[in-house]
Amino acid sequence: MLVSRYFKLGRNQGTLDFLDVHIDKDIPVFVDPAALRSLQTDWGHHCVSLLQSYFESVLTAIRRGDHDRAKQLLACLNERNEFHIGYSKGRSRGSALGAVSAEKIWESLVKSRAAETGVLHDLEDTILFVDGVGPDMLSDAVCNIIRGPLIQYTQQACVYYGIPLTSGADSGPVWNTRDEKWESHLIDLPITKHGSLILIPKIIARVRQTYGHQEYYRHFLMPVLQQHHKDINSSLVHVLQSKKNKGVKKVYKTDLYDLYGADKLVSAKLTGEHPQALTNYRETKIATPSRPLDHSALAEIENVPAPNLDGLLKDVTSLATGAKDATNYENAIEKLLSALLYPALAFPVKQDKIHEGRKRIDITYVNDAKDGFFSWVARSHPASHVFVECKKLRQGDRES
């Protein structure tokens, strides 16, 4: 049972800004920290600030030897079920850090010395160097850290789409950057028979994390190690004798695997000795950001049809002119544009107030285009938002 069906929204994923998850089980997508960093919005910047604040507090506690505080900070990324994303089979269980997992993660952080040597910089680095942290756990940890902005987004989305909110719901641990601590409140959230829901913007969902240990180790760290062994002319260097490559030095990756191994503790140690590998990896990821899931991918994941753009257009053109259908016309326009222009435009707001409330914009979108027309507009003009005015004129009418 998807959220849209449970609350009878009359929409599917194509015309919804949030991820249309199941209310009782997970769908196999993740929130990627790199996706948050790519958002050029105040909301995205706030989320990134929370990730940085939290992770720096954990690292600072470990560097100071305040291990009880580090464990407490990690343990509060506890397993909760409001997000409904990840690999859990059957009912949602969550994969974030509970007390037992937090102890293991803390132990790995201390053992690898990655926190002390400066190898770890951002939360997503943990997937490269910390045992026990995989895509599912990292995603759930991110969702917990940005719980505050996600709650705010959920409340706004519920008002926008007509989803009822229930007061007195437990917020769960919310990260307070000022006091560097977790705190909880009683708040308004949508409630189903399976518990509270916290909605996620679909624009930050991915089927895989941007960072991956195997990719980093094999394709970035290994080449640096190969060059290092060539530079010092170690015993792993083979000098080729064929006519075509005579005299060329070669270091085989299999020999490096045999010498060093390939676990995350080794990766952290070698990266500390050869930091250029991580620098290259980060620069490559920044230069080639992951893309939001398109309509086809989301439809396949959720087992629903892709948006019917012809049908959405017909819903617009079939409405009569005049004030009677003005609201329906605005809603139909928003559905069509939200599907047609995703993922360039996101976070729609209807009847957005400007000029101290003296004027309203019919539909306001956040411009998050990375290419195409709206990206060009943003580069050429101040265009962080795109405004839509809905006018349905009778044939022969002209706008004054």
Sequential DSSP letters for 245-311: TTT-EE--HHHHHHHH--SHHHHHHHHHH-THHHHHHHHHHHHSPPPPP-HHHHHHHHT-PPP-HHH
Q: What is the pTM of this model?
A: 0.87
Residue type, 149: P
Which tops the pLDDT comparison, 399 or 297? 297
| Per-residue model confidence as pLDDT tens digits over 132-147 | 888 888 888 899 999 9
Q: How far is CA 224 from the centre of its chain?
A: 30
| Per-residue model confidence as pLDDT tens digits over 213-250 | 999 999 999 999 999 999 999 999 998 887 787 888 89
Q: Is the peptide bond before 149 cis (omega within 30 degrees of 0)?
A: no
Determine the Cα angle at 227 with ends 223 and 230, to 5°: 140
Mean of per-residue pLDDT scores for the chain: 88
Is the confidence at residue 400, as pLDDT, over 50? no
Which tops the pLDDT comparison, 365 or 79? 365
Residues 217 and 213: their CA atoms lie apart, in Å, by 6
Mean pLDDT of all residues in 18-47: 92
| Per-residue model confidence as pLDDT tens digits over 95-130 | 455 555 778 788 888 877 777 777 888 889 989 998
Residues 333 and 341: their CA atoms lie apart, in Å, by 12
pLDDT of residue 95: 47
Instruction: Find the Cα–Cα–Cα–Cα dihedral 132, 138, 140, 146, rounded to 10°.
Output: 140
Task: Name the pLDDT band for 384 (thresholds 50, 70, 90).
Answer: confident
Is the confidence at residue 191, as pLDDT, over 90? yes
Neighbours of 92 (CB within 10 A): 24
Residues 400 and 387: their CA atoms lie apart, in Å, by 19
| Per-residue model confidence as pLDDT tens digits over 240-267 | 887 787 888 899 999 999 999 989 989 9
Is the confidence at residue 199, as pLDDT, over 50? yes
Task: Name the pLDDT band for 280 (thresholds 50, 70, 90).
Answer: very high
In the chain, where the domains are located: 3-206, 213-287, 308-388
pLDDT of residue 396: 52
Task: Name the pLDDT band for 160 (thresholds 50, 70, 90).
Answer: very high
Residue type, 80: R
| Per-residue model confidence as pLDDT tens digits over 328-370 | 888 999 999 999 999 999 999 988 776 666 678 889 999 989 8
